[in-house]
Structure 1
Amino acid sequence: MLENLPIYVQIHNQIKQDISQGRWKVGQRIPPERVLAQDFHVSRMTLRQAIQTLVDEGILQRKVGSGTYVASQKVQEKMSGTTSFTDIMLAQGKEPTSRVVSYRWSEPTLSEQEHLQLDKGKRIIRMERIRLADQVPICFEITSIPDWLGQCLNRQEITQSFYHALEEKNLKLGHAQQTVSSMLASEKVAELLAVKRGSSILRLRQITLLADGQPFEYVRTQYAGERFEFYLER
């Protein structure tokens, strides 16, 4: 440990290294603070500061009345454009899959008509999916796309790897407009994502455009907060 760093930072770094080297596995409880404080020859206050920093970083997780555990690594998405769910999962060494809940042609709501800039009388395809990583549900997604796009692509192309199918049709992706907020899981979403009702949910609303500025996708996604996080880079 580097002596010029504060003691709690040195302890933080050592515990983090121990976890990465497999001393404690995901889901395993680490020793009590009293024991760790003795091992590091520091006060429990100093040890607690190191542990709290690891909890804040999502590396450790406190469970009331039970102890402190190594947290499961969350799937991360960099908020920087239109990277597909499939690509995000593959980049993190996870197997992406989807389960279609519903897929139908429909009249658009006023919100869908506005966000997709549809003329009156135009229809949409509205698709509901559960997206999974290594068979673990990550998010519940409602995607609306305009009818002209539904006529260019078949159901398999739309439901399995939408962005890749667009590129194969020489439809170049542009930028995305994204809004993130928090909410509590409804009974339906909790069941679909295998979380408790009222659990923390990250909600993403996204309008995705082609390179020419035409909106082609309006997505409302609810992520299981305990399994997913967004991050920003400047």
Structure 2
Amino acid sequence: MKDLQMIFFGTFVSSLLLLLLALTFLTLFVIKKQQVKKIKSEKLRSKSQRRKQKKELERLIKGSKKALVTCLAFLLLGIGTGGGAYFISYYQAINLSEKDKELVTNGYYLLSDFEKQLKNINKDGMDLKKSSQNIQNLGGAMASYSGLKASNLNKEAGQIKLNRYYNIVKELGVNATGQSQDFFENKELVEEFLKDIKKAQGYQKEIFKYYKVDDGALKAKE
């Protein structure tokens, strides 16, 4: 996506320069047309002056035509590159940036692993120390989503969905880290967290649908 941003910037600047050149040659065309009109209005008596006038008119008319053709060429190129810049901008707006893609993917696995850890609490043969450490690690990883914001290249609707998702993942992480020991003694707390995980996964599904993410590919890697 960084490469796309560079390409967008390049095409956008190129479009502006091409349109500026088109405007420059349009101005030149208008000036030459005015000069042609002025010379044509002049009444000359001598043949030598009329010959010079004719040559000057031919030069100006030829120059005005060349300026107009060049103006149209730069105008078309400017519109073309502007359209390319718009397409790149639109593509970025409807697709996840590399950073957001990584955060959403990691969030998917963190929530999934956290859910599994909570569901396995108090099962026979479970290593309490190891399970507690796993919850601490997962909580810390989710808490790291604090302060994260979606790329402003996304459409506003996409940014809202992503920021809401990052926030609930962060809250789950902060709360889990602070209550990791309580899970083994409080079944109601476990159920409460499982509900919150489902809520976060609901936001996650909205993101997958909005950005057309294949969650089947993510599940296959679990």
TM-score by length of 1: 0.24
Structure of larger gyration radius: 2
Q: Which has the higher strand share?
A: 1
Q: Which has the higher helix share?
A: 2
